[in-house]
Amino acid sequence: MIPALATSRALALDIRRADTATLVGIALVVPSERLVSFLGAGAREVTMPVLSAKTWRGIDAWADETDARLPFRPAPMTSALVEPMLDGKPGPVIAERFASIPIDSRPGEGLGLRLARMLPGLLKRRATTV
């Protein structure tokens, strides 16, 4: 018997300063698993911040709203939801969703580790995109 697939989605976010559009970093957010992986521009280490229940409710609402607007360009995530994902305070930031990536969420190799492996390539590609 083939085991059922357990899939979730990771929302890929391009995080930029709101005033200059300078790339701050890339985040992969998995709302169903309450998991965030973030890699800052110029950083070598991925962080996995723990977000409050209030922040997750905001992310859930934002994701539902952006899903409803597809295929049109989703509205950016506000600074109030993005800043808790970041180390330090980079100033006013926004996050634009640029992909929704299906991921296997079955137990086994840690989901956080799989997300961390994806971030450097995504960051490299987004660093050249404005």
Q: pLDDT tens-digit profile of 14-53? A: 999 988 888 999 999 999 889 999 999 988 899 999 999 9
Residue 78 lies in a domain: yes
Per the prediction, the chain carries an average pLDDT of 84
* pTM for this predicted structure: 0.85
What is the pLDDT confidence band of residue 69, given thresholds at 50, 70 and 90? confident
Residue 55 lies in a domain: yes
Residue 73 lies in a domain: yes
Give me the domain span that covers residue 115.
Answer: 7-126
Residue 2 lies in a domain: no
Residue 53 lies in a domain: yes
How many distinct structural domains can be found in the chain?
Answer: 1
Residue 1 lies in a domain: no
- Separation CA 125–CA 130 (nearest Å): 11
What residues contact 90, with CB distance under 8 A and at least 6 apart?
Answer: 17, 24
